[in-house]
Amino acid sequence: MLSHKPIGAVETTEAAPAKINLALHVTGQRADGYHLLEMLVTFTEVGDVVHIEDALEDRFSISGPFSHTLMQSDAGDNLVLKARDLLRQASGPEFRPVAIHLEKNLPVSSGIGGGSADAAATLRGLCRHWNIALAPGKLAEIALKLGADVPMCLASQPLIARGIGEDIEMLHDMPVLNLVLVNPLKGVSTPEIFKRLTSKKNPTLEERGDAPWMAFIGKSRNDLEPPARAVLTEIGEASDLLLQAGAELVRMSGSGATCFGLFATVQDAETAANTLRQYRPGWYVQATKTMGGPLR
């Protein structure tokens, strides 16, 4: 049987962490229709995984618990392949063919950056695999072409993002947060949620100053949560279940439908996740922690 890879093929693995909007403030709208946002963002230890390997020709495959949804979608909409092609265009066509395998562990269209995280991981992974040293600004430019969330996911560290998501301020003192993610495995339409906003010019994030992180996060909000709750009642149910399970703070991430609950300890989060799985065995429930600084 013929091999699909050259002798001595190199393999590269890149994590695609889930993106959590701890806060999402809609602060305005540009003339071109794009909404202006101010977001407090962090990333978790759970996520998808991108595997890259030298090949005789470009190939793409997918596996994992949520792979079936992407298999049914148009390949032309695949952000992983778009990321590969844009990076090759920017760097030169001579870069060798690759087989990319996506391990899809996160629910699709769930407000935790799955597709954007996959695209960003592809960019990072291919830069290592092909030994490309693009200027940071150039890589961010490619990322933004793929979507407003991709530059944030390219960083995959705690940050504040402004504008449509391209104006990024890194946060180096955010503590590790223990959390449980809950998604009812029902999608919501992001354009519809934005369309249902009662106000598109809301207050920005407050200055944190010396306030504890939990207090700062608690004073913020997700402006997309009220319209999303009106569209999908399970979002409210997920939030209620997290509160009943002992979460200190509960909020929806992005445009939904994933909700997160913050817990005092890893053990508290894992116990809550086990309880919630018994209540809603058909839902996505995952205990994890964020990537950040020291434990709070």
Q: Which residues are catalytic?
A: 19, 149
β partners of residue 12: 52
Whether the CA torsion 206, 212, 215, 217 is positive or negative: it is: positive
Strands 178-183 and 284-289: antiparallel
184 vs 284: CA distance, rounded Å: 6
Distances in Å between the Cα of 265 and the Cα atoms of 72, 120, 270, 278, 288 are 39, 30, 9, 21, 10
The first and second tokens of residue 139, run together, are 């890589």
∠ CA 135-137-139, nearest 5°, is 75
258 vs 193: CA distance, rounded Å: 14
225 vs 239: CA distance, rounded Å: 11
Whether the CA torsion 5, 130, 290, 180 is positive or negative: it is: negative
**Which DSSP string do the residues of 91-120 spell out, in sequence order?**
H-TTSPPEEEEEE--SPTTSSS-HHHHHHH
